[in-house]
Amino acid sequence: MKTINLPEFCLVVLIGPSGAGKSTFARKHFLASEVISSDFCRGLVADDENDQSVTGAAFDLVHFIAEKRLQGRRLAVIDATNVRSEDRASYVRIARKFHALPVAIVLNPGESVCQERNAARPDRQFGPHVVRNHIRALKRGIRKLQKEGFRQVHEFRSSEEIEVVEISRQPLWTDKRAESGPFDIIGDIHGCCDELESLLAGLGYEVHFEGEGEARRCTVAAPAGRRAVFVGDLVDRGPRSPDVLRLVMSMVRAGTAFCVIGNHENKFLRWLNGRNVKPTHGLAETIAQMEEEPESFREEVRTFLDGLLSHAWLDGGKLVVAHAGLREDMIGRASGAVRSFCMYGETTGETDEFGLPVRYNWAADYRGRTTVVYGHTPVPEAEWLNDTICIDTGCVFGGKLTALRWPERELVSVPAVRTYFEPARPLQPQAKAREAQAEADDMLDLEDVRGKRQIETRFGGRMTINEANAAAALEAMTRFAVNPKWLVYLPPTMSPSETSRREGLLEHPLEAFDYFRKEQVATVVCQEKHMGSRAVMVVCRSPEVAQARFGTLGPESGAIYSRTGRDFFLDGEKTEAVLARVRQAADRAGLWDSLESDWFVLDAEIMPWSAKAQSLLRVQYAPVGVAASMDFAARAEVFQAAAARGIDVEDRDLTALRQFALAGRYAAAWRRYCWPVENLDDYRIAPFHLLASEGAVHTDKDHRWHMAQLAALTCGDDPLLMATSHRFVDLDDPEAVDGAVFWWETMTEAGGEGMVVKPLDFFAKGPRGFVQPAVKCRGKEYLRIIYGLDYDQPGNLERLRNRGLGRKRALARREAALGQEALERFVAGAPLRRVHECVFAVLALESEPVDPRL
């Protein structure tokens, strides 16, 4: 019996004459979906699995399916005769393209068996010469399979052998996803063992060297649960390469470290193998040091280096460590190209002014979800770019030796004791003005927002954005929104409470309370709904903070934008003046210290409504009032006169008078929200959420916390900032509920817009998933502006009650999840495109047609 140890990701090419039993073999050992059969593809294109006239098209299909599977890192099995070398070449090419190992399994039970099987099948009456030709072709090529590029070749020469084969699937060498850390990933050492020892000591490892010559040993005790990962380039240039090797080898042997190969190990290994290599780039130092070492040590090193991984894919797939970094499409795959990329990266073919090859900046284009930690290119400081980080901080050149703690993402370094080697290119050319990430984020890519999109959110799962919605958002985003660097959040839409059946009313707090009670929310907060314009305010302590944290270039110290991302004031000076006032309030409230942050994001309402909605008021709302007043006054006159002549006008004179009064109430309703704005003091800003600050998205805190923080901000003497009045209501306490209803009635009768009811927890979970984060309950008079001046007249209200909230609520939930995701990603330091796709999606959803009166 023979067991084939198959890499779990590979391309298996079955090879054998017609009748060899390939399909039976494939069925036995593989999933039906893993097997791509040429006969099946013939059937797909021509309804006949034996139609030889469509061979070309059928194989196009075989190749296409194979490519799609390999692209998705799934094993594929080619079930075709594949007896000729030119047939197989295309599969080797495809396997290489997707960095899958090509594996050949040859099934040749002998001509007689094949002839016999074909004879028994009515659809295979093509004569004995076919099998004979197959076997002849097979024999010609079988010795060359390795040379053709197959990394494993398995051959079986009888039905019995074929019958007893077993297949066991093995993870690729580099696939260490089951190893979950925590890890201490250590940058390029280059023989700097002194620094390595201090770095490890600082990380809690106990390193102990003893003995000399043959007897020299190193033992390392790791802190509980932690392991080291070495990014390669252990040797060359520095003073103690053999000791570094000794240390790393002992840890790897003890299972307390992983090590990936660096280009210097590769070259050193070739020297150890007796190849002719130039002792440049510090290899001479290593060679000289190795001269002092016993032969047995050299042999040990040779074996160790020979077994080094190209890269290590760790921690459930969240982390990859490779010496020179790794492209997304190479992670967890195997090919010569992958190994070469891991050791050397890619070069552009150009050389720089020091004669060194210009490296292709793969990290700038990296868009993967796996964090890549690498070395190879000495940098003055380790810094994140697109979730990749280079931790080669040039210790041997007099820089420092750096470790990255995972999953903590903390950097720990020790400075070099001295410069051991002069770099060909100066290590610190000039002080860099901006972070690499900020620079990369200057340029967003259309591919990240265009077309149909799927976005994974922690709160709402996968969100699908339609192509048409994304297209609609593109214009809004590019023509009107503020610089995307500021757009770390867009607020969700908000649904009204269920429609009330109470006489003369469309909305009432009791429906909102019922909703939350049904969702098993015990306590809600009722907040006054200010009638102004929604605004998101990003407040930084200074322009420098803005540049450092938000990656902006200009002198702004923050941004204030509307719910669709538009600049709120369209006046930089005014924006800065408002931000300065908010900053002062934050200074006084001690907010910077209590948040331990130099920036924060507020969700607020800015009044008056007329300040922002002036044109809407002038073009839409005000004219309705005048037209209605003129119309009804004139009607009243006409019908009164007719009535005076004794004509029965069916009370139309009275109706007109009543409508005239309603027109007045309509105008009074919106006029309350308008006042002239001459200077800053005429505005009112009422914040109601403190969304985020450094290291924290505050939606994990309840509304008591938010209200308390904001009270501190608004309690000063600045008239610009006003508190949002609110009350907490225990839904099981009838008195509290009555009190809240009374509060709403008082507020709305005085012309207030109404109130917003939210579960005490920012995001509450009910029996059917996440509860609406907020439900609005608007006042009777306010709704006149929305539904028309006579909406509450008998007959009208009945019809208006027939409104559906489902769509609005679904949108509110999706937008809330996306907004939350945007903030979380921003706070976690994700590249801007990952934040941007979320806010872009909110904007896209806003283009969904929903009754705008809701």
Partner 1 sequence: MLLTIETTHRPATDLGFLLHKNPDRLHEKSLSFGRAVMCFPEADEDRCRFALTVEVDPIGLVRGRAPGASLHDHYVNDRPYAASSFLSVAIARALNTAFAGRSKHRQELAETPIPLAVTVLPLAARGSEDLAKRLFEPLGYEVETLAHALDPALPDWGASPYITLRLEGSLTLRELLTHLYVLVPVLDNSKHYYVDDDEVEKLVAKGAGWLEQHPERDFIVNRALKRRRRLVREALARLTEEDEADDADEPARQDEAEDALERPIRLNDLRMARVTEVLAASGARRVVDLGCGEGRLLRELLASRQFEEVVGVDTSLRSLERASQRLKLDRMPERQAARLKLLHGALTYRDRRLEGYDAAALVEVIEHIDQDRHPALERALFEFMAPPLVVVTTPNREYNALFENMPAGALRHGDHRFEWTRAEFESWAHGVAERFGYALHLEGIGEVHAELGAPTQMAIFERGRQ
> What is the binding site for partner 1 (CB under 8 A)?
442-447, 449-450, 471-472, 474-475, 477-479, 483, 553-554, 618, 620-628, 630-632, 634-635, 637-642, 645-650, 652, 667, 671, 674, 676, 785-791, 796, 799-800, 849, 851-853
- Residue in 577, 534, 575 with CA at minimum distance from that of residue 718: 577
Residue (85 or 640) nearer to partner 1, CB: 640
| Residue partners of 91: CB distance under 8 A and separation at least 6 | 11, 13, 66, 78, 82, 102
End-to-end CA distance of the chain: 72
Q: Considering the complex, what minimum distance in angstroms separates the CB of residue 61 from partner 1? A: 28
Q: Considering the complex, what minimum distance in angstroms separates the CB of residue 316 from partner 1? A: 31
Q: Considering the complex, what minimum distance in angstroms separates the CB of residue 651 from partner 1? A: 11
| Residue partners of 751: CB distance under 8 A and separation at least 6 | 668, 669, 672, 779, 781, 782
Q: Considering the complex, what minimum distance in angstroms separates the CB of residue 654 from partner 1? A: 14
CB 368 within 8 A of CB 331: yes
> Which ranges in 80-236 belong to alpha helices (H)?
85-97, 111-119, 129-141, 145-148, 159-164, 193-202
- Residue 259, beta-bridge partner list: 230
Tell me how far apart the alpha carbons of residues 449 and 469 are, in angstroms, rounded to a whole number. Answer: 11
Strand order in the sheet with 10-15: 35-37, 76-79, 10-15, 101-107, 152-156
Whole-number Cα distances in Å, 710 to 142, 605, 713, 738: 77, 13, 5, 26
Largest CA distance in the chain: 128
Residue (362 or 632) nearer to partner 1, CB: 632
Q: Considering the complex, what minimum distance in angstroms separates the CB of residue 436 from partner 1? A: 14
- Residue in 718, 818, 711, 701 with CA at minimum distance from that of residue 761: 701
Tell me how far apart the alpha carbons of residues 101 and 7 are, in angstroms, rounded to a whole number. Answer: 8
CB 71 within 8 A of CB 124: no
- Residue 103, beta-bridge partner list: 12, 152
Residue (602 or 628) nearer to partner 1, CB: 628
Q: Considering the complex, what minimum distance in angstroms separates the CB of residue 483 from partner 1? A: 5
Residue (178 or 619) nearer to partner 1, CB: 619
Residue (480 or 705) nearer to partner 1, CB: 480
- Residue in 130, 133, 138 with CA at minimum distance from that of residue 13: 138
Residue (291 or 353) nearer to partner 1, CB: 353
Q: Considering the complex, what minimum distance in angstroms separates the CB of residue 388 from partner 1? A: 19
Q: Considering the complex, what minimum distance in angstroms separates the CB of residue 665 from partner 1? A: 13
Q: Considering the complex, what minimum distance in angstroms separates the CB of residue 796 from partner 1? A: 5
Q: Considering the complex, what minimum distance in angstroms separates the CB of residue 636 from partner 1? A: 10
Residue (215 or 570) nearer to partner 1, CB: 570
Q: Considering the complex, what minimum distance in angstroms separates the CB of residue 13 from partner 1? A: 34
Residue (515 or 568) nearer to partner 1, CB: 568
- Residue 260, beta-bridge partner list: 309
How many CB atoms are located within 10 Å of the residue 741 CB?
17
Residue (668 or 750) nearer to partner 1, CB: 668
Q: Considering the complex, what minimum distance in angstroms separates the CB of residue 824 from partner 1? A: 23
Mode of pairing for the β-strands spanning 319-322 and 371-374: parallel
> Hey, which bits of 660-747 come out as E strands?
684-693, 696-697, 726-730
Residue (396 or 805) nearer to partner 1, CB: 805
CA 542 distance to own-chain centroid: 29
Residue (168 or 802) nearer to partner 1, CB: 802
Residue (496 or 625) nearer to partner 1, CB: 625
Task: Name the DSSP class of 259.
Answer: E
- Residue in 597, 595, 487, 604 with CA at minimum distance from that of residue 541: 597
Tell me how far apart the alpha carbons of residues 169 and 171 are, in angstroms, rounded to a whole number. Answer: 7
